[in-house]
Amino acid sequence: MKPTKEELALQVDVAEWGWLRAHLERGGLIVVDRELDITEVGERIARDDTATVGAWIEAGKLSKPSDGQIAAWNADAAARFSTLIISPYILMKEQ
């Protein structure tokens, strides 16, 4: 059974960049644009809604962290993110 948006909302947590960095090595981080609701994104990924997820990727609303973002987060030890695990990925949204 696929999780509902309400169930996913209960799983959203806050993490510091240092906690997420290890997941960068395995390619498991996905950056969610500030305009998107992280639980909506999680639900669409869990439901294999390839049309919507693909449109977000095409529009640059979902992406792997860029080199510039990684450098900025490495320089800012206080960087914090809303996070949601949708295995095998960790969705992350800057706070």
Residue 75 pLDDT exceeds 90: yes
Binned at pLDDT 50, 70 and 90, residue 2 comes out as: confident
Domain ranges of the chain: 5-94
Q: Nearest 10 degrees: CA dihedral of 82, 85, 91, 92?
A: 30
Measured between alpha carbons, how far apart are the two ends of the chain, in Å? 30
Segment 24-39 mean pLDDT: 95
What stretches of the chain show up as alpha helix (H) in DSSP? 5-9, 17-25, 38-46, 50-58, 67-75
Match 């960049």 to its residue by tokens.
17
Phi, psi of 49 (to 5 degrees): -80, 80
Banded model confidence at residue 58, pLDDT cuts 50, 70, 90: very high
On whether the pTM is more than 0.85, the answer is yes
The pLDDT of residue 22: 86
Tell whether the model's pLDDT for residue 77 goes beyond 80. Answer: no
Token pair listed for 56: 């977000």
